[in-house]
Amino acid sequence: MDKVFPHTDLVPTHLRKQRYAPRMFPPVTTLSTAYLHKHVSRLQRSVPMALLNRFIEIDVMTQAASLSFYALLSLAPLLVLLLWLTASLYPPAQDALVQQVAQLAGGSAAEVAQTIIRNATDQPGVGSLAGLWSTLLLFIGATAVFAQLQNALNLIFRTDKQRLDGLMAWLKKRVFSFGVILALGFLLIVSMIATTALQVVFARLPSVLPAVGYVTTLALYSLAFAFLYRYLPDRTVDWRQAFLGGVITALLFALGRYAIGVYIATAAPGSAYGSMGTLVILLVWMYYASVVFFVGALITAVIDERVRSHRKLREAGVDPEHPPVVVPPADAQAGSAAPTPTQHS
């Protein structure tokens, strides 16, 4: 075109050569089956999708409602049993126990705890027959919530361990739950001693004391949740994953304590129940706490399963980041071609 018309300014516009015209691609109307299968498989293997599937499969909301009911029934014997365990080693345990309940669940729960502890002083002594029955019922009631908690965690962690049926299995589970109560009582004593020690150490720095106490409480909560995630399910969970889930659950508890406080203050769910309003508020908080605990258990279970699966793949000589994927045949209706494994690129 330039040779025919050397003076391009005189060339009509429609005859000029388009040297830098943008390249137009045809619209994409179809995607390859392998491409779709690759990205769908990657999405299905993602951690958020695994958490969502497990959340729906276990029906976490129903499990949390069941645990809240058991926790409400076990609250009185559990507080009395914790008071017996801690008061023998730490005399001012009653006030400290009520303070811990207030920090964890708010003032309404602290009022319920004070009423339970005050009524417990009128119970018959252990030396009498009525006292023996009272102690036995106390043991059964205090361990019921942990037995239900263990059943729910077995569903979340997908344990396939064969458990004994009958009375022996029931006794083992109750004894183990009592051991969990002992461990929590020990952590409660450690929390009380740590709080007292921090008050002495930071007596000259009162502005720093609240932050240090908050971090210490958060660390103790993380340790308690990690202990439950490791030992309550019927399969052993690695300490690293258990502690990670414990930290996440403790952070959710710390955030949710203020959120549930705002909800109770604004929505006032117990205002319509009159004198039972405090109990309803406590039940709402228990339900939220159960959901948070199970979400932390879901995170712990999924991460622990991923770590175990990657470890097995490495032992088998397979790259965990690019596992083999079965691609469906091009002609799926014919059914003549069989699926062939391919590697992610």
3 state SS for 54-90? HHHHHCHHHHHHHHHHHHHHHHHHHHHHHHHHHHCCC
Asked, for residue 45, whether it belongs to a domain, the answer is: no
Number of structural domains (the chain) is 1
Q: Which of 39-48, 202-211, 258-267, 276-285 has the highest mean pLDDT?
A: 276-285
- Structure confidence by residue, pLDDT tens digits, 242-282: 999 999 998 888 887 777 667 766 766 656 666 677 777 77
Residue 327 has pLDDT above 80, yes or no: no
Residue 337 has pLDDT above 60, yes or no: no
pLDDT at 29: 46
Asked, for residue 343, whether it belongs to a domain, the answer is: no
Phi-psi region at 59: left, alpha or beta (left = phi > 0; alpha = psi -120 to 50): left
Query: Where is average pLDDT lowest: 83-87, 114-118, 150-154?
Result: 83-87
pLDDT at 214: 78
Look up the pTM and report it: 0.66
Residue 122 has pLDDT above 60, yes or no: no
- What's the rounded mean pLDDT across residues 335-344? 49
Asked, for residue 65, whether it belongs to a domain, the answer is: yes
Query: Where is average pLDDT lowest: 25-39, 162-176, 270-284?
Result: 25-39
297 and 245 Cβ atoms separated by less than 8 Å = yes
- Structure confidence by residue, pLDDT tens digits, 189-198: 676 677 667 6
- Structure confidence by residue, pLDDT tens digits, 78-94: 767 666 666 655 556 66
Host domain of residue 126: 50-156+164-312
Asked, for residue 322, whether it belongs to a domain, the answer is: no
Length of the chain: 345
Asked, for residue 63, whether it belongs to a domain, the answer is: yes
pLDDT at 101: 67
If one compares 241 and 29, the residue with the highest pLDDT of the two is 241
If one compares 206 and 123, the residue with the highest pLDDT of the two is 206
Asked, for residue 300, whether it belongs to a domain, the answer is: yes
If one compares 46 and 90, the residue with the highest pLDDT of the two is 46
Q: How confident is the model at residue 212 (pLDDT cuts 50, 70, 90)?
A: confident
245 and 225 Cβ atoms separated by less than 8 Å = yes
If one compares 318 and 249, the residue with the highest pLDDT of the two is 249
Asked, for residue 78, whether it belongs to a domain, the answer is: yes
Residue 75 has pLDDT above 70, yes or no: yes
pLDDT at 336: 46
Distances (CA, A) of 246 to 43, 65, 334: 26, 21, 52
Query: Where is average pLDDT lowest: 80-89, 208-217, 323-332?
Result: 323-332
Asked, for residue 323, whether it belongs to a domain, the answer is: no
% of the chain surpassing 90 pLDDT? 2
pLDDT at 333: 45
Residue 20 has pLDDT above 60, yes or no: no
Mean pLDDT, the chain, rounded, equals 70
261 and 106 Cβ atoms separated by less than 8 Å = yes
20: phi then psi, degrees, rounded to nearest 5: -120, 40
pLDDT at 87: 60
